[in-house]
Structure 1
Amino acid sequence: MAIAKKLVASLLISLLVLQMVEADDQMVKSSLAKKSSPKKIECGSACDARCQLSSRPRLCKRACGTCCARCSCVPPGTAGNYDACPCYASLTTHGGRRKCP
């Protein structure tokens, strides 16, 4: 009889642990889904602001639009601030120059 009680108790503990592991797994999956889906930004207005002082605004907006579509972000301001959007800063041309204005 004592063996049966121990067996039932260990079975119940195993089920409880399994339930906790499943709940934790679901929480991890939901948090990863939130992190992996990038926010969509309005690339047109962001690139208009970024390229407003450019000497070649059409070229700047075209390059900025391409970079924004790939990275879903545009650094603030009209120049620099690449640390705000590392993906934007890492895109380069075939010649190794920075692609994004």
Structure 2
Amino acid sequence: MKPGFAAIFLVCLVLISSSLFEVTMAGSGFCDSKCQVRCSKAGNKERCLKYCGICCEKCKCVPSGTYGNKNECPCYRDMKNTKGKPKCP
């Protein structure tokens, strides 16, 4: 009976881990697409995309538009760099 239980447990574990992997992949696609919009008019697009991606991964949101609207995402708005200035574009 124990080997059967172990097999069922293993199958369940694989199914759960694969669904979590899909959620993680969807999350990065979310950040990529939102940051592309946010940084579309940035002067230094590479830098904007880098920091937007960092902030999005941490906060799970990006304000709408290309500038402002940071009240839509308080975590994004309140994140500061080491100099105390806003980290997120």
TM tier, smaller: 0.5 to 0.7
The amino acid that maps onto 2:67 is: A
Q: Deviations over 1:14-66 (max 9, x none)?
A: xxxxxxxxxxxxxxxxxxxxxxxxxx470000000000000000000000000
TM-score, with structure 2 as normaliser: 0.68
Aligned to 2:50: 62
- Alignment pair present for 1:100 and 2:88: yes
Q: 1:42 aligns with which of 30, 52, 57?
A: 30
* Aligned pairs, number: 62
If asked which structure has higher relative contact order (CA below 8 Å, sep 6+), I would say: 2
Question: Identity of paired residues, percent?
Answer: 42
TM-score, normalised to structure 1, is 0.60
Give every structure 1 segment of 4 or more consecutive aligned residues whose post-TM-superposition deviation is greater than 6 Å.
none
What RMSD over aligned residues (CA atoms) do the two structures have, in Å?
1.0
Match in the other structure for 1:78: 66
Structure 1: which 5+ runs fail to align? Answer: 1-39
Residue 100 (structure 1) shift: 0.1
Gaps of 5+ in 2: 1-26
